[in-house]
Chain A
Amino acid sequence: MSVVISLNLLTATYFSENALLPGLVKGEYDMDTEARSLLVELEAEAASHPHTLPSAWLLSRFHRLSLDAYTHNFTLNYPLGSSSKFTGRNVYGILRAARSSSMEAVMLTVPYRPPDSVHPTTAPGLALMLSLAKFFRRQKYWAKDIIFLVTEHEQLGAQAWLEAYHGASCGLPGVLDHGDLGGRGGAIQAAINLEIHASKIGYIDIKVAGLNGQLPNLDLVNLVHRMCSKEGVRHTFNNKEKVYKNNWWATWSRGIHTLVSMVLTQATGMPNGNHGLFHRFGIEAVTLEGFEKVGRGSPATFFQVGRVLEGLFRSLNNLLERFHQSFFFYLLPDTDRYISIGLYMPCLVMLAGALIIKAFTLWIKVQNNISIAEMESPSSDENDEEDKTVNLNVMLVGTAVFINHLQGVLLFSGTQHFTRITDAYSTENLLYGSYLIGCLLTIVSPYIIRLHKKTDNQWVLLNIIALLELATVLLAVGMNNFSLAFLTAVIYVPPALWLQSSNNRWYKKLLWIVLHPFFMLSWVVLGFTAVTFPELEPLQLLTKAFVANKQALVLCAVDSYIYASWTFNVATIFFLPTWSLFWQLTQSHSESIEATFDEEETAKKQQ
């Protein structure tokens, strides 16, 4: 993998879409004074609405620009625990393109954060958006509608608005009631999500990772970087700025750093901004997050960032069809370098291929075993028996596989019910507890079910099935979310190759227990907590990680219900059963111990 990266760190990005005409226009935006006064006004308004969106003020602002302005109400029926309701309200305005039919639209969105929000404020972004709306209103070159959307409750508002716009419901029916919209524009082709935290901006971070690891078209990402460079705004990807160094090692290690951080972000399958929810509707979107300037040097002001956005929207205005020319599958080691699917996919395919090759060698072994058995028993009676076992073995193995998957499905479909067992404990505790029990059950199940009284061949067959299933799931997940599949493959493939069909030693068992998906979540959360709060004492750290772990589990489940994020589903329905298939193998004993062991060794050597 790293060889591939080092070879291809140098693949520079380029524009595939001719129609974009990136950065050819001279910026004309000059309403930065307006934006600053709007910010003052907005902050005063926000102070009087500490919890909610100042919708009346926003509506009047949009109306003053003679935009079509509407509010949008939505309701969330919380899927876990005793059902509770949350409501929210979005405000949006549509600037109609005067000289063309409203067939297409582009969007500018800002997630509004009231003063009591735990997240940093986005009021400066909102002020900038309003001033841009005023500026755009005066231009006559728009070929597409421009929709200005202010959402409430972070991603929830954006999701509800998108569902209402497209008349679709993504998550579990009845969980998110998306409500109705007063007005629509055309098909949305692109969206820019703006999170500007200050009026003096140090740098703009461009976020791409979307729901389920989907990425926006690379052309859009390039466009944003290009516009930022053009207007002299410092821009970063995953908070890493491009640094020009002659030292290849420094460049390389920095590239690896950026790449790893991208892979980790993407692997969660969670969007790292509101943009991530747009992708599934075929809308290309990125988030521009502007951080406050700290330290010396001149900051970027509303003037420059406004021009960046003006340039972006003029380029998007030029689009003739939706983004389709450039890559949708890529990894970014830098702001202007990319690795295409053709280069990184082979890494995953090789890992999955190793599993398949091992399965193949095992298969050959089974074949040999059968033919040897046949040769050794020339009398027809014995042969009969042999054949019968071959036949039954399929049945037994099939049953074992079926039961394993049933466990996963039951665990998944029970999620909502677990949290409604009792009101005595919090949702988090209930869910965590029930999952812990469920996972302990998967661990002890081989002892309970006692299916491991099988012949050598049956174990091998089970092993083959487990290997093939792991390989298939990895490939299928990799098509959607490469990072998740790759990390999973890196963690699980070597031990899966190392495990034998039967008679595994204790250290292998231990290793496999440690790799239980449920425990993996804990390790990941622990590691993340340790990195985020390095100052904590070990005990404090563990407590914090434990709490975070419970929250993470709830969040995973809730995301699956509201946004139809499938990380949780895949983990419970596929990864967990595959894990327990291998776990059964580690618990197995077979009669012809020595023979198997030897053969395993030779097979491995051949590999």
Chain B
Amino acid sequence: MFSYVGISFIFFCLISIVLHSSPNVEARHTNNWAVLVDTSRFWFNYRHVANVLSIYRSVKRLGIPDSQIILMVADDMACNPRNPRPATVFNNANQHINVYGDDVEVDYRGYEVTVENFVRLLTGRLPSDTPRSKQLLTDEGSNVLVYLTGHGGDGFLKFQDSEEVTSQELADALEQMWQKRRYHEIFFMIDTCQAASMYEKFYSPNILAVASSLVGEDSLSHHVDPAIGVYIIDRYTYYALAFLETVQPDSMKTMGEFLAVCPKRVCISTVGVRQDLFARNPHSVPITDFFGALRPVQLTFSSLILPENVANQCSDCEKSNHSSSALSSTNAEKPRKIGYVNQFPVLVENPK
């Protein structure tokens, strides 16, 4: 019984903090999303699939559910007839990690990975009959991790073998997201040749961007698996994955540390970072802000009294769930009985 009280207590603290903070000041997100895209197909691009699956594995392990991960993979390496180890994708010649894992939920696959679908996904301009798994249902409280990998050049990223998205198009798509209040903060990661050119055109706020190479540099692959006979993963993602493997859901590591991953000595290319659009200091941003689904929690030591029979008042809840006035004071005036909360508890100002 006590534990239930404790849980509810924490929950309410959490919600009160979220609801009290206005969106612009001391921004805190309410949910996490990830858009992970591999844009290239064909067997010799095995490494790009391994890249994207590495990030997928990490974010999933750190708590973002599959329903909030949009995974776009342009080719199926696990089932390619040339793969001597069917149904696996490894990030390492020693087969340490099978990034294909047991359950990979690919949302856009094969020829569905197009520039149009990608931009529509970001901006939310999808046909009305699009299944939920293919929609990016973010809001102004969403922290979004965008990861792209493929073959790129100065100012563009190739999709499949036939089209490309330019840096300007990408920047405009992100701006549209901002104007439609589809994100709170974005962490943009890209692993491709001349990757930094892709974030140079960004002009929307609250974007932190990292790229595997500067303009004029190639991003290199890490190593070959002589049994499979392909380059197995790219350097930047390899080291990023190595770093992320050390992160646990309760980790105190910061984005600042993540941005320092893969120094030139091992990466050969220079990792580019753009943080002028990002209001916060990366060194004070927990890595779980983007890679996990943990919401910020703050403990309070003053006691709170929860409203009575919240659980029974669902209809009322919904009516008044946006008003978030002095909660604690109301509660203090009228002590109520503590009850179980709904799955999505919302506080009521004046339960009747």
Contacts and interface: CB of A to CB of B under 8 A. Distances in A.
Interface of A: 18-19, 21, 24-26, 97-100, 139-143, 314, 317-318, 320
B42 A320 contact: yes
A21 B229 CA distance: 7
A16 to B, nearest CB: 13
Contacts of B249: none
B224 A24 contact: yes
Contact of A18 (B44, B83, B84, B224): B44
B264 interface: no
B229 A24 contact: yes
Nearest to A18: B44
A302 to B, nearest CB: 21
B263 interface: no
Given A100-B81, A141-B81, A143-B81, A318 B227 contact: no
B84 A318 contact: no
Contact of B226 (A24, A97, A139, A320): A24
* Chain A CB within 10 Å, residue with most, of B83, B84, B230, B231: B84
Given A24-B230, A24-B231, A318 B224 contact: no
Nearest to B151: A18
Contacts of A21: 44, 229-231
Given A24-B224, A24-B231, A25-B226, A99 B81 contact: yes
B322 interface: no
B84 A140 contact: yes
Contacts of B228: 25
Contact of B82 (A18, A26, A141): A141
Contacts of B83: 141
Contacts of B44: 18-19, 21, 318
Nearest to A19: B44
Contacts of A99: 81, 86
Nearest to B80: A143
Interface in B80-126: 80-84, 86
Report whether over half of chain A's contact residues are helix, strand or loop; otherwise say mixed.
loop
B81 A314 contact: no
A142 B86 CA distance: 12
B45 to A, nearest CB: 9
Contacts of B81: 97-100, 141-143
11 contacts: A19-B44, A21-B44, A21-B230, A21-B231, A98-B81, A142-B81, A142-B82, A143-B43, A143-B82, A318-B44, A318-B82
Interface in B193-229: 224, 226-229
Interface centre among B44, B82, B84, B228 (most CB of A within 10 A): B82
A320 B43 contact: yes
B20 to A, nearest CB: 55
Contacts of A25: 226-229
Contact of A19 (B42, B84, B226, B231): B42
A98 B231 CA distance: 24
Contacts of A141: 81-84
A23 to B, nearest CB: 9
B226 A26 contact: yes
A140 B230 CA distance: 16
Interface secondary structure of B, over-half rule: loop
Nearest to A25: B229
A139 B82 CA distance: 10
A97 B83 CA distance: 12
A140 B81 CA distance: 8
A314 B42 CA distance: 15
A98 B83 CA distance: 12
Top 9 closest A-B pairs, CB basis?
A: A25-B229, A26-B226, A99-B81, A100-B81, A143-B81, A141-B84, A24-B229, A24-B224, A143-B82
A466 B83 CA distance: 61
Most buried by A among B44, B86, B230, B231: B44
A19 B80 CA distance: 14
Contacts of B224: 24
A25 B43 CA distance: 14
Contacts of B84: 139-141
A143 B86 CA distance: 13
Interface in B162-204: none
Nearest to B161: A320
Nearest to A22: B229
Contact of B227 (A18, A26, A140, A142): A26
Contacts of A24: 224, 226, 229-231
Contact of B86 (A18, A139, A140, A317): A140
A143 B230 CA distance: 15
Nearest to A141: B84
B166 to A, nearest CB: 23
B207 to A, nearest CB: 33
Nearest to A99: B81
Contacts of A98: 81
A320 B227 CA distance: 19
A557 B83 CA distance: 50
Interface in B21-79: 42-44
A189 to B, nearest CB: 14
Contacts of B231: 21, 24
Nearest to B42: A320
Given A139-B84, A143-B82, 20 more contacts: A19-B42, A19-B43, A21-B229, A24-B229, A25-B226, A97-B81, A98-B81, A140-B84, A140-B86, A141-B82, A141-B83, A141-B84, A142-B81, A143-B43, A143-B81, A317-B82, A318-B44, A318-B82, A320-B42, A320-B43
Nearest to A143: B81
Interface in B265-298: none
A142 B42 CA distance: 15
Contacts of A139: 84
B54 to A, nearest CB: 20
A570 B228 CA distance: 50
A564 B84 CA distance: 43
Contacts of B42: 19, 320
Interface in B228-246: 228-231
A320 B224 CA distance: 20
A139 to B, nearest CB: 7
A24 B229 CA distance: 5
Contacts of A97: 81
Nearest to B224: A24
Nearest to A26: B226
Most buried by A among B80, B83, B228, B229: B229
A335 B84 CA distance: 32
B257 to A, nearest CB: 34
A256 to B, nearest CB: 37
Contacts of B43: 19, 143, 318, 320
B88 to A, nearest CB: 13
Nearest to A144: B81
A142 to B, nearest CB: 7
Contacts of A140: 84, 86
Nearest to B45: A18
A139 B228 CA distance: 12
A18 B83 CA distance: 17
